[in-house]
């Protein structure tokens, strides 16, 4: 049985799940709160909007309320820290996350074809003009496969846990998993997250060797070995587009 850190995937959204703000479709989540006294709009850090309907309110009125306040939202959106764009293709000039920092894919030394620079890494590519995605992924995956297993064994030794095998994989919707038999699987994309986030996922999976569930007990174990796990969880949530 596998226990995974699975991010909620957004469903394909019909139009009502968007709000038009200065011509831009902003994702909208509508919730009902019996204790709310009035309609509430809140901009989330990921740039989506939460609309709260009070006890006696209606969805239609909530929508009108949101539409009356789009200018306020537009101003709030401007204040949000820049989100990394997830380009369909990774071309020269695109910004990608590497060890938690946004780095630009740049043409190699003297702009020569056949090489790309990315956050201090030098990546060989057949040609630098097209989509660099496969080559950059291959390179980052290789880095992850070299760095993650020793890190897992280091933590396992420190916490006296027996790990049989570590694999670094290309999971689509999970950051890691742990099997009862002691195999830890990690997503290569953790090389894109800050090191403290990568460490949190490793510790999270390791603690499943003690608790094969997400019970309060499990989270106690996680808190004990990884006191900043909440910040790591927040980072992953804010940057959940990394997994798509």
Q: Which stretch binds Zn ion (CB under 5 A): 2-10, 20-28, 107-115, 126-134?
A: 2-10
CB of 43 to Zn ion, least distance (A): 29
d(CA 220, CA 191): 26
Which residues, at least 6 apart from 195, have a Cβ–Cβ distance to it below 8 Å?
99, 100
d(CA 6, CA 176): 8
3 counts as binding Zn ion under rule CB under 5 A: yes
Q: Which stretch binds Zn ion (CB under 5 A): 1-9, 36-44, 46-54, 80-88?
A: 1-9
Tokens of 119: 């956050």
CB of 155 to Zn ion, least distance (A): 15
CB of 203 to Zn ion, least distance (A): 11
Rank residues 5 and 98 by Cβ distance to Zn ion and give the closer one: 5
**List of E strands, 144-192:** 165-169, 174-179, 183-187
The sign of the CA dihedral 63, 65, 67, 73 is negative
Number of residues that bind Zn ion (CB under 5 A): 2
CB of 153 to Zn ion, least distance (A): 19
Phi, psi dihedrals of residue 202, rounded to the nearest 5°: -60, -45
Residue with the shortest CB distance to Zn ion: 3
175 counts as binding Zn ion under rule CB under 5 A: no
Rank residues 9 and 22 by Cβ distance to Zn ion and give the closer one: 9
Q: Which stretch binds Zn ion (CB under 5 A): 5-13, 49-57, 72-80, 97-105?
A: 5-13
Report whether 213 contacts 1 (CB < 8 A).
Answer: no
The residues of the shown chain that bind Zn ion, judged by CB under 5 A, are: 3, 5
């Amino acid at each position: 049985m596998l226990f995974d850190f699975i991010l909620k995937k957004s469903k394909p959204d019909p139009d009502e799940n968007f709000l038009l703000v200065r011509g831009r479709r902003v994702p909208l989540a509508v919730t009902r709160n019996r204790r709310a006294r009035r309609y509430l709009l809140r901009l989330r850090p990921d740039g989506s909007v939460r609309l709260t309907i009070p006890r006696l309110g209606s969805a239609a009125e909530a929508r009108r309320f949101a539409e009356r306040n789009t200018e306020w939202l537009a101003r709030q959106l401007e204040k949000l820290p820049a989100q990394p764009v997830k380009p369909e293709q990774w071309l020269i000039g695109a910004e990608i996350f590497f060890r938690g920092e946004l780095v630009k894919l740049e043409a190699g030394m003297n702009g020569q074809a056949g090489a790309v620079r990315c956050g201090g890494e030098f990546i060989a590519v057949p040609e630098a003009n097209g989509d660099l995605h496969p080559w950059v992924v291959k390179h980052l995956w290789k880095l992850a496969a070299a760095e993650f297993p020793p890190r897992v064994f280091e933590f396992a030794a420190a916490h006296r846990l027996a790990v049989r095998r570590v694999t670094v994989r290309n999971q689509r919707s999970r950051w890691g998993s742990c099997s009862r038999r002691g195999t830890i699987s990690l997503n290569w994309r953790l090389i894109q997250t800050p090191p403290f986030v990568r460490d949190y996922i490793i510790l999270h999976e390791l603690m499943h060797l003690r608790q094969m569930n997400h019970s309060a007990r499990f989270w106690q174990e996680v808190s004990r070995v990884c006191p900043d796990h909440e910040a790591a969880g927040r980072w992953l949530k804010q940057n959940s587009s990394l997994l798509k």
